[in-house]
Amino acid sequence: MEKLIANFNYVIVVILMMIGLWSMLAQKNLIKKCIGMAIFQTGIILFFISIGAKDNALIPILTEAANHTYPVSDVSKVANPLTQILMLTAIVVGVATLGVALALAQKIYQQHSSFDEDEILENERK
Amino acid sequence: MSTLPIWQFDVLLLILVVLFAVVALSIRNLMGAAVVFGAYSFMMCLIWAGMGAVDVAFTEAAVGAGVSTVFVVSTLYNTGATVQPRTGGLAFKLFIGVVVTIAGAFLLSALPDFPEWGASDSPVNAKVAPYYILNTIADSHVPNVVTSVLADYRGFDTLLETTVVFIACIAIYSILRVDKAKLEAGEPAAAPVPRYDPGDSLIVRQASRFMVPFMQLFALYVIAHGHYSPGGGFQGGVILGASLILLAISFDLKSLLRQWSEKTLMLLVAAGVFLYAAVGLACMFMGGNYLDYGFLDSILPGEQDMARSHGILLVEIGVGITVMFSMIAIHINLASNGRFDRGL
- As for how many domains chain B has, the answer is 2
- Note the pTM of the prediction, 2 decimals: 0.90
Min Cα separation A65/chain B (Å): 12
Domain residue limits at B234 = 128-344
- Write down the pLDDT at residue A57: 80
- Write down the pLDDT at residue B184: 66
- Write down the pLDDT at residue B160: 93
Round to whole Å and give the CA distance between B250 and B289: 47
In terms of Cβ atoms closer than 10 Å to its own Cβ (0-12, 13-18, 19+), residue B268 is middle
Question: In terms of Cα–Cα distance, which of B21, B47, B35 is closest to A46?
Answer: B47
Other CB atoms within 10 Å distance of the CB of residue B25: 23
Q: Which of A9, A88, A106 sits opposite B14 (nearest CB)?
A: A9
The CATH number covering residue A43 comes to 1.10.287.3510
- Write down the pLDDT at residue B3: 45
Q: Choose one of B86, B116, B136: the last residue of a domain.
A: B86
- Is B8 in a helix, a strand, or coil? helix
Closest residue, chain B, to A101 (C-alpha): B172
- Residues B54 and B145 both lie in one domain: no
**Average pLDDT over every residue of A27-41:** 92
B133, B149, B156, B333, best to mutate vs chain A, most A CBs in 10 Å: B133
* Residues in chain B where the model's pLDDT stays below 50: 1-5, 189
Question: Cβ contact (<8 Å) for B107 and A14?
Answer: yes
Bridge partners, residue A78, by sequence: A58
- Write down the pLDDT at residue B187: 54
- For chain B positions 170-209, those within 8 Å of chain A (CB to CB) are 171-172, 175-176, 188, 191
- Side chain identity at B3, as an amino acid letter? T
Question: Cβ contact (<8 Å) for B4 and A6?
Answer: yes
Round to whole Å and give the CA distance between B279 and B276: 5
CB B257 within 8 A of CB B328: no
Name the E strands within chain B: none
- For chain B positions 71-90, those within 8 Å of chain A (CB to CB) are 71-72, 75-76, 78-79, 81, 84-85, 87, 89
Confirm whether B215 is domain-assigned. yes
Round to whole Å and give the CA distance between B314 and B308: 10
Round to whole Å and give the CA distance between A52 and B335: 38
- Residues B235 and B325 both lie in one domain: yes
Confirm whether B95 is domain-assigned. no
Domain residue limits at A89 = 2-125
In tens, the pLDDT along B167-223 reads 999 999 999 988 776 666 655 545 555 555 555 678 888 888 899 999 999 999 999
Round to whole Å and give the CA distance between A35 and A22: 11
Question: Cβ contact (<8 Å) for A22 and B100?
Answer: yes
User: Would you say the C-alpha torsion B200, B33, B78, B331 has a positive or negative sign?
Assistant: positive
CB A34 within 8 A of CB B72: yes
Q: Which of B51, B96, B229 sits opposite A25 (nearest CB)?
A: B96
* DSSP one-letter code for B122: S
- Residues B164 and B296 both lie in one domain: yes
Min Cα separation A125/chain B (Å): 19
- For chain B positions 263-302, those within 8 Å of chain A (CB to CB) are none
- Residues B37 and B179 both lie in one domain: no
**Average pLDDT over every residue of A97-121:** 90
- Write down the pLDDT at residue B61: 92
In tens, the pLDDT along A2-21 reads 666 778 888 999 999 999 99
Confirm whether B123 is domain-assigned. no
- Residues B335 and B196 both lie in one domain: yes
Does residue A99 register a pLDDT over 80? yes
Confirm whether B106 is domain-assigned. no
Round to whole Å and give the CA distance between A59 and B52: 5
Confirm whether B303 is domain-assigned. yes
Closest residue, chain A, to B168 (C-alpha): A96
- Write down the pLDDT at residue B5: 47
Closest residue, chain B, to A86 (C-alpha): B150
- Residues B133 and B237 both lie in one domain: yes
Confirm whether B43 is domain-assigned. yes
Confirm whether B109 is domain-assigned. no
- Residues B240 and B169 both lie in one domain: yes
Round to whole Å and give the CA distance between B323 and B275: 13
Cα angle B323, B324, B325; round to 5: 95
- Residues B25 and B138 both lie in one domain: no
Q: Which residues contact B267 (CB under 8 A, 6 or more apart)?
A: none
- For chain B positions 108-137, those within 8 Å of chain A (CB to CB) are 108, 111-112, 114-122, 124-125, 128-130, 132-137
- Residues B283 and B232 both lie in one domain: yes
- As for how many domains chain A has, the answer is 1
- Residues B64 and B158 both lie in one domain: no
Annotate A114-126 with b (16+ C-beta within 10 A) or e (fewer): bbbbeebeeeeee
Taking CB atoms and an 8 Å cut-off, how many pairs form between chains A and B? 310
- For chain B positions 21-80, those within 8 Å of chain A (CB to CB) are 21-22, 24-25, 30, 33-34, 37, 40-41, 44, 47-48, 51-56, 59-60, 63-64, 67-68, 71-72, 75-76, 78-79
Confirm whether B94 is domain-assigned. no
- Residues B67 and B186 both lie in one domain: no
